[in-house]
Structure 1
Amino acid sequence: MEHRREAIRGVAGCLIALIGGAAGMLAWAPYGRRGIFGGFEGEAEWNVLWLGLPVMMLGGITAGVTLFALLWGKWRQALGAAVLLTALVGFGVAFDVLAGPPSTCGPVC
């Protein structure tokens, strides 16, 4: 019975990580569309793809793992995942990974 419970927990953890990654990708999509496919004079900002997408997907996966660890009462694992999530947020802010191309309308917008 214990093996079955561990197997169910493992499958649930993988599904939560998959859902977190998909949520991160969906959260990234508007920034990716704007950063890659349009901007001032057709200029693309590839950092949105090369940095933004991995950071958002890893952030979604890490958030899912954190919640999963909290639900199962694994406080040390949840704390470790929360530290990793904080580091990902810090990296994203420091490198402005979701910044698209400059605005075309200037300060009037």
Structure 2
Amino acid sequence: METENPRREALVGTAGCLTAFAGALAGIVLWAPHGKGGLLDGFEGASNWNVLWVGLPLMILGGIAAALAVFFLVRGDWKRAVGLVAAVAVLFGLGVGVDALAGAPRPECYDPC
């Protein structure tokens, strides 16, 4: 399959890979407070490994899918963008369903009295 401009395709492919990598990093950064809370400060000192084994992969995949959805929206590829938004919704639903971020940091409430 011949392409008209292989340099442009290589550039777009590289930009897509960098976008996916940035999305994965964003997912890790957003997961970090939850992971720390679940692994170190679990209920009664017990670690919640579900946060690591389920939460981290879901956040990484969600970050990649969200970043690529934006990438495809910018490029005008609406079908792929909508598919990736649906994938983010499924990953979100799965994460809520299995309570993957059960160690989420909660704001401290103090008794005003």
Alignment TM class, shorter chain as reference? 0.7 to 0.9
Is 1:93 aligned to 2:96, yes or no?
yes
Give the drift of 1:49: 0.3
Segments of structure 1 that go 5 or more residues without pairing to the other structure are none
Segments of structure 2 that go 5 or more residues without pairing to the other structure are none
Identity of aligned residues (%): 48
Kindly provide the amino acid, as one letter, of the partner of residue 76 in structure 2: G
- CA RMSD in angstroms, aligned pairs only: 1.9
Distance in 1, Cα, partners of 2:44 & 2:97: 26
Q: 1:55 aligns with which of 37, 43, 58?
A: 58
- 1:36 alignment counterpart: 39
- 2:72 alignment counterpart: 69
- 1:22 alignment counterpart: 25
Give the drift of 1:2: 1.4
CA shift digits 1:32-71 (9 cap, x unpaired): 1111112343200011001100000000000011001101
How many residues align? The count is 104
TM-score, reference length from structure 1? 0.88
Distance in 2, Cα, partners of 1:40 & 1:72: 46
Distance in 1, Cα, partners of 2:82 & 2:36: 34
TM-score, reference length from structure 2? 0.85
CA shift digits 1:77-96 (9 cap, x unpaired): 11111111110011011111
- 2:10 alignment counterpart: 7
CA shift digits 1:12-51 (9 cap, x unpaired): 0000000000000000001111111123432000110011
Kindly provide the amino acid, as one letter, of the partner of residue 8 in structure 2: R
Distance in 1, Cα, partners of 2:34 & 2:91: 17
